[in-house]
Chains A and B, each alone.
Chain A
C-alpha cells in the first residue's frame, strides 16, 4: 500500500469531501494560497477557488461564529484554527453556540461543522503555541472530539467528521504532519466511537491518544524485549468514547496506563482512568496510572520542554513497575 504523510492525508480527506458535497467549504487564517503555516491545505484553493477556500482576518471568534451560522443554515464548514492554543479565543462560539444549538432548539437546529486544529509540545514554540487542549472541549456536551494517531486515522476521521451532523473538533499533532503511514487509494471512513487495538498484548493495556500512540508503541516494543506484552489501544475519538473496547482490554490484561498529551490534572487521562476504575475495579491487579503532560505552562527551553511530556522511557518504567507489583504511589 502507498504511504503518505499525515498532512497529505488531511488534504485528501478535505478535497474528496469538497468534491463530493458542494456545501463543504474551508475557512480560516491563511488557508488559501499559504495553505496554512504547516502547508496542510496547499493546492486546495487552486482546485476549489477562493470562495470555498476562504482566507479570513485574524479574528478567531468571528470566523468560528460565521462557521456556526453557516452550518445552522445549510452549509458544512471546515474551520481551520491555526493553533490549538487559540481555542481559548473561540470558547463562546464553540461551547455556548455550536455545542448547544441542537439541544436548545429541541433538535430543530443542527451545526454540522468541523473545527480542525492541533496539539503537541516539543516544537520549541513555547507556552502559547504548544498546548494540547482536548480535555477542554471533550468536557462540553454537544461537541465530538477526534484524535487521529496517524495519516490513516487523520484521513478516515476527517471524512467522518465532515459528514457528521454535529460540531466536531479534530486535533492533529503538529509534529506528525510529515509522518507517513499506509493509506489506501480507495475511499474509506473511520467511524467515531470505535477504538482500535494497535498492538495486542496480554500483560498491560496502554491507552494512548494522538501522537501518544507512537509513544505507547515504542514503549511496547521495548517491553516486549523484557517479556512484557503490552496492548496498545487508540480510542481514536474521545467523544464518543468506545468505553467497551477499553474495558474489555483492561479486564483481560488487569493493568492500564492512560497516556495523553494534555495536562494531567483534570484531564483526559483522569477521565479514562476513573471510568476503568469504576467499571473494571475487580479485574485490576494494579492502580490505573495516568500519564499526561506536567501541570506547568509548556516551557520554551528545550531542556525543560522535553521533561513535560510523556516519553517511551517513562511509560516503560511505569509499566515495568506495575507488572512487577510495585507500589507506584506509596500511601
Chain B
C-alpha cells in the first residue's frame, strides 16, 4: 500500500482513495512551470471516481493543458460494492466534460494497453494532454487482506472466470508463444525465477529487524 520510490519516479501509493490525484496533477504542473518534459500518470480505481477532488484537478489540468494521464483501473468493485451501484452515467464522459480526450481499453490486454500508453505519453510530452484512460480489469483478491469471504458481493465462478480465461499475463504469454517470440520452456524458467525472487524478498522482509525505538520520531520534519 504505502510504496514510494522517487528514484524511479514513483511518488507513492496513497491510503486515501483518490488522495494522490492532486499530487499527480501538481507534479504535472511543476513539469510545465519548470519546462521539464516528464509526464505524470495518476493511477486510481473506479471507486476513486466518486471523489470530488478528481473533478477539481481535472478542471485545472484541462485549463492549463498539463502533462498528466489519469488512468482509472476499473475492476468492477468499489471496495465491497459493485461499481454500477455507485457510478452514474459513463466514467469516460466525466473526463470528456472537461474537454479531456478519454479512452476505454481492455486492461487485460497487455499489447493494447502498451500501444495506447506509448501514444498518450508521447502526446502528453508534446503538450497535447491531459488524457483519461479507463482500463477494464478485475481485482482477484479482496479490498483488503481480511476481505476473504466475498460471496455476499460476487461469486466464486466470476473470480475463476477472470483468473482462468482473462488473466493478462496468461494471455500475453499465449501471444508470445504463438508469435514465436518466446518458447514455453523459457517462459517456465522465467516464471520460476520470478517466484524465487518473490520468495526471497518475502524471506528477507520477514528476517529483517524491526526499527529501533529511537526511529519513532525520525522524519516527522525534514531538516
Q: Is the CB of B221 within 8 A of A142?
A: yes
Q: Is the CB of A72 within 8 A of B223?
A: no
Nearest to B2 among chain A residues (CB) is A104
Q: Is the CB of A96 within 8 A of B19?
A: yes
- Interface 9-mer from A57-65, A274-282, A317-325: A57-65
Please indicate the chain B residues that have their CB under 8 angstroms from the CB of A144 in the complex: 221
Nearest to A77 among chain B residues (CB) is B26
Q: Does A92 count as interface, using CB distance less than 8 angstroms?
A: yes
Q: Does B145 count as interface, using CB distance less than 8 angstroms?
A: no
A82 to B2, CA, bound (A): 32
Please indicate the chain B residues that have their CB under 8 angstroms from the CB of A165 in the complex: 221-223
Q: Does A123 count as interface, using CB distance less than 8 angstroms?
A: no
A110 to B221, CA, bound (A): 9
- Nearest CB of chain A from residue B52's CB, rounded to whole Å: 7
Determine which of A23, A67, A105, A112 lies in contact with B34 in the assembled complex, contact meaning CB atoms within 8 Å: A23
- Nearest CB of chain A from residue B59's CB, rounded to whole Å: 6
- Per-residue CB proximity of B19-39 to A under 8 Å, as 1/0? 101111111111101100000
Among B40-79, those with CB < 8 Å from A are 40, 52-53, 56-57, 59-60, 63
Q: Is the CB of B60 within 8 A of A69?
A: no
- Interface 9-mer from B4-12, B116-124, B175-183, B196-204: B4-12
Q: Is the CB of A69 within 8 A of B34?
A: no
- Nearest CB of chain A from residue B7's CB, rounded to whole Å: 8
Q: Does A141 count as interface, using CB distance less than 8 angstroms?
A: yes
A165 to B219, CA, bound (A): 12
- Per-residue CB proximity of A98-141 to B under 8 Å, as 1/0? 00011111111110100000000000000000000000000001
Q: Does A97 count as interface, using CB distance less than 8 angstroms?
A: yes
Q: Is the CB of B12 within 8 A of A104?
A: yes
Among B127-148, those with CB < 8 Å from A are none
A326 to B59, CA, bound (A): 61
Which of the listed residues B23, B56, B57, B60 has the most CB atoms from chain A within 10 Å of its own CB? B23
Q: Is the CB of A62 within 8 A of B219?
A: no
Q: Is the CB of A65 within 8 A of B222?
A: no
A96 to B19, CA, bound (A): 9
Q: Is the CB of A92 within 8 A of B221?
A: no
Q: How many residues of B contact A (CB 8 A)?
A: 36
- Chain A-chain B contacts (Cβ-Cβ < 8 Å), number: 127
Q: Is the CB of B219 within 8 A of A106?
A: yes
A137 to B56, CA, bound (A): 23
Determine which of A23, A73, A102 lies in contact with B11 in the assembled complex, contact meaning CB atoms within 8 Å: A73
A141 to B24, CA, bound (A): 23
Please indicate the chain A residues that have their CB under 8 angstroms from the CB of B22 in the complex: 61-62, 64-66, 68-69, 93, 97
Q: Is the CB of A59 within 8 A of B60?
A: yes
Q: Does B115 count as interface, using CB distance less than 8 angstroms?
A: no
Q: Is the CB of B219 within 8 A of A107?
A: yes
Please indicate the chain A residues that have their CB under 8 angstroms from the CB of B21 in the complex: 65
Nearest to A107 among chain B residues (CB) is B219
Among A52-98, those with CB < 8 Å from B are 52, 56-57, 59, 61-75, 77, 92-93, 96-97
A75 to B31, CA, bound (A): 9
- Nearest CB of chain A from residue B133's CB, rounded to whole Å: 19
Nearest to A65 among chain B residues (CB) is B22
Q: Is the CB of B19 within 8 A of A97?
A: yes
Q: Does B213 count as interface, using CB distance less than 8 angstroms?
A: no
Which of the listed residues B5, B6, B28, B222 has the most CB atoms from chain A within 10 Å of its own CB? B222
Please indicate the chain B residues that have their CB under 8 angstroms from the CB of A109 in the complex: 4, 6, 11-12
Q: Does A166 count as interface, using CB distance less than 8 angstroms?
A: yes
Q: Is the CB of A102 within 8 A of B57?
A: no
Determine which of B16, B24, B26 lies in contact with A67 in the assembled complex, contact meaning CB atoms within 8 Å: B26
Q: Does B185 count as interface, using CB distance less than 8 angstroms?
A: no
- Nearest CB of chain B from residue A33's CB, rounded to whole Å: 16
Q: Is the CB of B221 within 8 A of A65?
A: no
